[in-house]
Structure 1
Amino acid sequence: MTTAPKRKHIPQHRQPATASPGEASRRRPDIRPQHFLGLKDSTLVPTANLLQIKDTVIDTVESKAMSVIYGDPGLGKSFSTRATIQEMNPDLILPLDFARSRPGPKDLREELFHQMRLNCKMPGTATAFDKLLREALPRRPYVIVCDEAQQYRRENFEFLRKLWDNCDPQPAIVFVGGREAYETLQPMWRTRWAVPDPEYGENPLPPLLFVFNRLGARNPDTVIPALEKLTWRHWAGHERHQHFSYDQKLPIVTVDFDKLRAHGPAGQVFRRFGRTGHQTLHHAVGNPHRDAYLARRREEEAVRDAEQREEQRRKAERDARRPRCTSCQNTFSDDRWEAVENTPADPHPTLCVACAWRASDAEQTARRQAEQERLRQEAAAEEEAQGRRFFRRRSSSERQ
């Protein structure tokens, strides 16, 4: 049986904090070690394997790390792990045991939700579930114990690793299972090169550092230019805006061992292929010109955002003073507002354009109707006057 991480074992071993009787009574799952044939009054014998696993679990819990205890079946991996964690606070132990084989990430999320006794409704989506777990796990120093980890899918390990990476502080995770679990976890635990999120298509490869020691017949002053010429297609970037982009390019950096020893790793002793002069390791691996360009771009965007906010503030203040139409209650347009302010003789200064047009049309219609009525009345009066004159002439002629 093998454990990871390993350490040297000595007769005296540290003891984890024991749980009080009140805490022991609140244990949710049965995490006690299962003795052979369930023998009563059996005694736990501290074998070499048990002590090794005990130290591994204690180290994992104290450092809030991830570890795997793996080996062939029947070597006591689960027994020793249970014997160690039962002496800890049971409220902090989150054993992930599943009735069915090959559980998925959904099963892990639901089991963690139930084990932590979260007083809320279970989220319906994976994104909301992960956010809830990232918020709940750092509240207490939990220890996640994954027994029979050889049955886990790769997606389960990826889920737990990302959950561990995104928690602060991080929980301790102990995987217990066969060799399949270790073979799946080993590639995930290799050193990872962390790069920021790609910006403008920039996603460089992990850097490669050559340390040249001036020993032997080969001269680094001639080897480095030859190596730079042979590998140019792997490191050469292309010009973009005001900097060079190294998307999917390999940063190759060289350093002279004597200069490194004289100035230390923080000195300007590193040279990157494609650049002149020496830089610090941070600048050699990175892209200072691109960082400066992005900084200037962010400053310009910040200035534009400030100007937009100021313009919106002025617009809001102007809109607060903008008059409303007394007829339809709509606010004046800029043109109408300016026309009303610049035309003191406006016949309808309290109306918007549409209402002013309708009012003007109504006034013109009223004037036309009034004019027509006046003309009709005048015509009627004229006709009546002519009738009276004719009647008088006829009456006088009849008398004659």
Structure 2
Amino acid sequence: MTRQLPPPPTDQYVTLPDARLVSTRALLTARENLTDTINARAMMCVHGGAGFGKTMTVTSCLRALEPDEDIRRITFHARATTRAVRHELHTALELPGPPPRYASESDHLLKNALATHPRTLVLDEAQWLQSDQLEYVRYLWDDPYTQLAIVFVGGEGCYQALRKEPMLSSRIFIWQRFTRLTEDEVLDVIPLYHPIWADADPDDIAFADQRAAHGNFRNWARLTAHTHTALERTGRPGVDQEVLRWAVSCLGSGT
């Protein structure tokens, strides 16, 4: 089967040697939720603030859970028209030739393709989809012959956008909201995230979280990259307050 998921090294927000995927509570929950959604050929919504690890979690879990699953991912970067969604699907499914000119012809082609075997469709940055496009996705999923599992992944506004569509939201099998890491989670998972934190003083990790990261995994990735650079340049054996203050300053937080 074809898998349109990026390679594992791209899971991390920044290029950071030795960074690891850590099993947060959100990741473990997502793994179960994605398994249940795929098994039921249902729809799921993963939503939450920017930098909370939604896309990384969904991508890594799908890569591990379904080695034989046909997974296609579409990422939206701006408000899309329904015509654009048809064209994106045509490309993602690797259908021959250019997308048909007429909507009815395109719909017929897409539904036939989606009926050939089970597929999982990931719609990333789904907050950019408007009512017409969400209704079109539901229309494809509702067809009795398509064998689709759909995972909506989106930032702020995604939950509200889907909830405003009663025909769609009533069909969402699982809703999962991503939030910031708690203080306890930070102290549990950050030492596992990268070797520079493995032997760090918990007070220093807490300091870094309070000053800059704020339980946001994207912030932790940036902070770790800057801290790693500082340790390499200074030759210091481990994290300390001076190194952290410099790293925090690079993020525009603190001094």
Please report the TM-score for the alignment, with normalisation by the length of structure 1.
0.39
Establish whether residue 68 from structure 1 lines up as the match of residue 45 from structure 2: yes
* Contact 1:31/1:82 (8 A) holds in 2: no
Which residue is equivalent to 2:74?
96
* Contact 2:3/2:72 (8 A) holds in 1: no
Judged with a 3 Å threshold, the aligned counterparts in structure 2 of structure 1 residues 174 and 28 are, in CA distance, closer, same or farther, namely: closer
**Which residues in structure 2 correspond to 1:253-268 (within 5 Å)?**
none
Judged with a 3 Å threshold, the aligned counterparts in structure 2 of structure 1 residues 146 and 64 are, in CA distance, closer, same or farther, namely: same
**Structure 1 position 118, deviation (Å):** 1.6
Establish whether residue 188 from structure 1 lines up as the match of residue 164 from structure 2: no
**Structure 1 position 37, deviation (Å):** 2.3
Name the CA distance, whole Å, in 2 between partners of 1:146 and 1:167.
Answer: 21
Q: Report % sequence identity.
A: 32
Which residue is equivalent to 1:122?
99
Name the CA distance, whole Å, in 2 between partners of 1:121 and 1:35.
Answer: 34
**Structure 1 position 182, deviation (Å):** 1.6
* Contact 2:125/2:153 (8 A) holds in 1: yes
Q: Deviations over 1:142-192 (max 9, x none)?
A: 111011111111211111001111142430000001242222222334559
1:52 pairs, out of 14, 26, 29, with 29
Secondary structure of 1:38's counterpart equals coil
List gaps (5 residues or longer) in structure 1. Answer: 1-22, 193-400
Name the CA distance, whole Å, in 1 between partners of 2:13 and 2:49.
Answer: 18
* Contact 2:69/2:120 (8 A) holds in 1: no
Name the CA distance, whole Å, in 1 between partners of 2:78 and 2:7.
Answer: 19
The structure showing larger relative contact order (alpha-carbon pairs under 8 Å, at least 6 residues apart) is: 2
Counterpart residue identity of residue 111, structure 1: E
Counterpart residue identity of residue 24, structure 2: T
Name the CA distance, whole Å, in 2 between partners of 1:27 and 1:158.
Answer: 25
1:111 pairs, out of 88, 91, 101, with 88
**Structure 1 position 89, deviation (Å):** 3.8
**Which residues in structure 2 correspond to 1:381-392 (within 5 Å)?**
none
List gaps (5 residues or longer) in structure 2. Answer: 172-255
Q: Deviations over 1:181-222 (max 9, x none)?
A: 222222334559xxxxxxxxxxxxxxxxxxxxxxxxxxxxxx
1:77 pairs, out of 42, 49, 54, with 54
Which residue is equivalent to 1:86?
63
Q: Give the length in aligned residue pairs.
A: 167
Counterpart residue identity of residue 119, structure 2: Y
Name the CA distance, whole Å, in 2 between partners of 1:190 and 1:46.
Answer: 29
Name the CA distance, whole Å, in 2 between partners of 1:189 and 1:28.
Answer: 25
* Contact 1:137/1:167 (8 A) holds in 2: no
Please report the TM-score for the alignment, with normalisation by the length of structure 2.
0.59
2:6 pairs, out of 24, 27, 30, with 30
* Contact 1:147/1:175 (8 A) holds in 2: yes
Establish whether residue 42 from structure 1 lines up as the match of residue 19 from structure 2: yes
RMSD (Å) for aligned C-alpha atoms? 2.3
Judged with a 3 Å threshold, the aligned counterparts in structure 2 of structure 1 residues 36 and 133 are, in CA distance, closer, same or farther, namely: closer
**Which residues in structure 2 correspond to 1:192-271 (within 5 Å)?**
none
**Structure 1 position 121, deviation (Å):** 4.7
Which residue is equivalent to 2:126?
149
Counterpart residue identity of residue 55, structure 2: S
Judged with a 3 Å threshold, the aligned counterparts in structure 2 of structure 1 residues 42 and 70 are, in CA distance, closer, same or farther, namely: same
Name the CA distance, whole Å, in 1 between partners of 2:153 and 2:7.
Answer: 14
Secondary structure of 1:175's counterpart equals strand
Counterpart residue identity of residue 158, structure 2: A
Counterpart residue identity of residue 188, structure 1: M
Secondary structure of 2:14's counterpart equals helix
Which residue is equivalent to 2:145?
168
